[in-house]
Amino acid sequence: MEIALVSSPGATEDHLKKHYADLADKPFYAGLCKYMSSGPLVAMCWEGTGVVKTARTMMGETRPADSKPGTIRGDFCIEVGRNIIHGSDSVESANKEVALWFKPEELFSWTQSNETWIYE
């Protein structure tokens, strides 16, 4: 199991420009980077079977109006430009993003005591 958690007073706009570099040609890019750097954040790294898909289900749809109740975006967001959560859309993206946010020594692996009851 690998997990890291960092609570920060906020990320710089320059750091978020690197994070969202794949969206640099989009008209909302500058506003997104400014918004995401406007307050505190918690960066996390999760590991597990199907974790990207599971995390995206918990987050809800990109468009909050399309999100189900009980999801983060369904319960706490109204407009796309003010989504309060970001999640990697693939393992490849996650690997790139984890490297951007965490140093290798900040990631910890361990075996849960109930692992044999959870995983085959």
Sheet architecture: strand order including 2-8: 41-45, 2-8, 108-109
- Which H/E stretch holds residue 97? helix 91-101
Q: What are phi and psi of 67, to 5 degrees?
A: -85, 145
Alpha carbons 85 and 70: distance in angstroms, whole number: 14
- 86 is an active site residue: yes
Q: At a CB cut-off of 8 Å and minimum separation 6, what does 65 contact?
A: 78
The set of residues, in sequence order, having a beta carbon less than 8 Å from that of 91 and lying 6+ positions away, is 52
Cα angle: 31, vertex 68, 41; to 5 degrees: 40
Select which of 15, 18, 56, 86 is catalytic. Answer: 86
- Residues classed as catalytic: 86
